[in-house]
Structure 1
Amino acid sequence: MPQRLRVALLLAWLLPVLGPTPAPAQSPAAAPAQDWPVRIVNRTGQPATALHAVRSGRTDWGGNLLNRGPLPNNAAFAMRPNAAAGCRFDVRLVLADGREALARNQDICATPRVELYTAVAAAPPGIITTPTPVPGVAQARPNAQARRVSTGTGFVVAPDRVLTNQHVVDGCDRILARTPDGRWLAAVPPAQVDRALDLSILHIPGNPGPALSFRAGPAVRRGEGVVAYGFPLSGLLSADPKLTRGEINALGGLRNDQNTYQISAEVQPGNSGGPLLDMQGHVVGVVVAKLDSRRVQNVDNVNFAVKGEAAQAFLRRAGHAFQAAQSSGADRSAADVGDIANRSTVLLRCER
């Protein structure tokens, strides 16, 4: 490979490329009759002692549906809700050790199978947590006197935990997150990083938003539609997040890197660290870089994302629980996927 092309590729790789309202429930007139059972599958690794399924928007979990005893691991519970009353459900399993597994805003009309995997510490009994400010956590203020400021994107993967690229937060004296509801929250150091994957986990107290779910299966294929969501060119473009749609072009990245995808969803400086979602609204990757067409002639719109599987492995190594769900059923619109991403995606401000 010529030296100039090798340098151009390296510079492009290092270039930083750098929430929400639930999708509306179907109206009773549009909702199909639910004449088949909806199956809730326990994939947590241990029995569940309680199962709750309520329509999205309720402020309590209602009664326990397991009136015949615990739900074993890998077992399914069948229910027949009245789809005419709404298709969007929040589902919760409570495990024998007190943890809970959650799946929110599930469209049971489009996908009548909900699989729950990762469990986290339980919220107070009977309460559905919402992304509201946490008492005692003061809002931060951007430092207008900072010598250098750069921006990127991150998204919530667990309570008060935001995933982004390592290069977005490298060398920052202070990191702030602007939440979907307009609050500024400060990250608490140190960040947990994986430099090889270019990933970082930030601790941002104050409830920056609900966690997005990773895709648990099936395997991602070339040609699948994806949505990139984030804050490109902050300060030049509008302050609201941007959505770009594209496809998975290749299952390997730069120099055949098997930890990344090549994607056609166009990204710009500021997109780095943002979620790449499938058309079910599940995370399949983390936007990381673009090839610089100014340095590589006759090449345009070549972008990369760290694979969701690699990001999940990083979260496990770092000791963080996360949510995962199967992607099946009819595709959502790009607008609906954007609504899912919006409530969990934050602008990151790095001050030096």
Structure 2
Amino acid sequence: MCRLIALLCLLTLSVGAEASKIYKWTDEQGRVHYTQTPPPASATEESTRTIRGAGEPSEGMKVYCRAVREFAMGLGHAMSSRVPLEAAVAAARTAEDKLRELGAQDSQAREVAYFVYGMEPGYRARRITVDGIATLAHTQCLTGNFAVIKGLREDTPATAGGRRSGSGWFARPGVVVTSLHVVKGAESITLHLSDGESASARLLDQDEANDLAVLATSARHLPGLPVRGEEVGIGTAVFTIGFPHANVMGVKPKLSNGVISSTAGLRDDPSQYQISVPVQAGNSGGPLLDMQGRVVGIVAAKLRANNMLRNTGDLTENVNYAIKSTRLAGMLSGVADGETASASLEQLAGAAGPSVVRIVVE
């Protein structure tokens, strides 16, 4: 873990003065191109855009980004053959292993896969080649936008002193659920409880594939939230309570609500719901509850609108994701739906609030 932290610090801090850019431009036939060299004079000024400029990368960053390019190239060839995302990742296993040797985690390699497969519309329209996609991934990495894996799951904001924070919730007294990326690699974990007290916690169990973590704590006086044992459908009303951007927005819990937009996540990932509930950095790990007060999911990620605009030309709005509560099966014992009844949002928030905690890790 120290190696990973050192690598991430290297990638974020080693930015020099010389710029390296990639250009998006349209030719006279209306075809879109991505190049690392400036567009020809025939490209109109209105159609030309610099996607990203960055400083001279360090040698360590260059090595890492070459591995990103190799992995992206393998994924791109699989995508062009209409291989599903999960199968493509398996096929590119050698390149993925290289990323892991350099400190990448499973979730980080998956972000590269999401990036590549997110470029599929441009590939199908013949606006970009597989090599062009790999070049884009490489350039995004070199410029610092991709090398530190600024993607779906970069939502544990830093707080004072180099700490980071997220959200969590009691599944039963003494047991807290959160997102694994909130607590992974932490030297210490502190829970800030609704009654103003704080308590230490330790990692009890983890599920890397589903980005889930179960914590044990000595705080046993707070009730657990009931967990729904089956999936819910599109249109189900849901809400979350969490601590987004606590260092800016404050440490009081924040509620946001919406609906289940899809019963599958990014690239039809069956482990996720797509939700219209607005979430921000710091919401990760918080409970997604239905209108009976049962946990149906764990807030996990958001689709970054600026990345989508840069890569597809479309500005996405309020596209967020939660891991389905059914993925907790096997990690939690003795947790059931419980006796629940429909109530107003205010009543449900009042009942669930005491079981939601702010998590600070160092």
Settle same-fold status: TM greater than 0.5.
yes
- Residue 338 of structure 2 aligns with which residue? 325
Cα distance in 1 between the residues matched to 2:222 and 2:254: 18
Cα drift, residue 216 of structure 1? 3.6
Q: Are 1:194 and 2:207 an aligned pair?
A: yes
- Find out whether 1:162 has 2:176 as its counterpart: yes
Q: Distance in 2 between matches of 1:11 and 1:314?
A: 31
- 1:5, distance to aligned residue in structure 2 (A): 8.5
Could you say which structure has the larger radius of gyration? 2
Tell me, yes or no, if structure 1 residue 223 matches structure 2 residue 235.
Answer: yes
Structure 1 or 2: more strand by fraction: 1
Superposition TM-score, scaled by structure 2 size: 0.56
TM-score by length of 1: 0.57
Match of 1:92 in 2: none
User: Equivalent residues in 2 for 1:6-155 (5 A)?
Assistant: 11-16=150-155, 147-155=161-169
Counterpart residue identity of residue 155, structure 1 = W
Counterpart for residue 128 of structure 1? none
Q: Secondary structure at the match of 2:151?
A: helix
Aligned match of 1:315:
331
RMSD across aligned positions (CA): 2.4
- Give the 3-state SS of the residue equivalent to 2:281 in structure 1: coil
For 1:56, the equivalent position in structure 2 comes to: none
> Structure 2: how far apart are the matches of 1:271 and 1:220?
21
Listed as ranges, the gaps of 5+ residues in structure 1 are: 19-143
Name the SS of the counterpart of 2:338 in structure 1: strand
1:315 and 1:321 in contact (8 A); partners too: no
The amino acid that maps onto 1:191 is L
User: What residue ranges of structure 2 are gaps of 5+ in the alignment?
Assistant: 1-116, 120-132, 310-314
- Give the aligned partner of residue 203 of structure 1: 216
Partner of 2:298: 286
- Alpha-carbon separation, structure 2, partners of 1:195 and 1:213: 23
Indicate if the aligned counterparts of 1:179 and 1:208 stay in contact, CA closer than 8 A.
no
One-letter code aligned to 1:303: N
Q: CA-to-partner distance for each residue in 1:167-194, whole Å, 9 max, x for gaps?
A: 000111110001110111001x343111
What's the counterpart of residue 337 of structure 1?
Answer: 348
- The SS at the match of 2:347 is helix
- Counterpart amino acid of 1:204? T
Aligned to 1:295: 307
| Partner SS for 1:267 | coil
Amino acid at match of 2:296: V
Q: Does the aligned pair in 2 maintain the 1:17–1:268 contact within 8 Å?
A: no
C-alpha distance after superposition, 1:98-149 (max 9, x if no partner): xxxxxxxxxxxxxxxxxxxxxxxxxxxxxxxxxxxxxxxxxxxxxx9x8411
Larger mean Cα displacement after TM superposition, 228-237 or 6-15: 6-15
**Structure 2 partner of 1:183:** 197
Higher share of residues assigned helix: 2
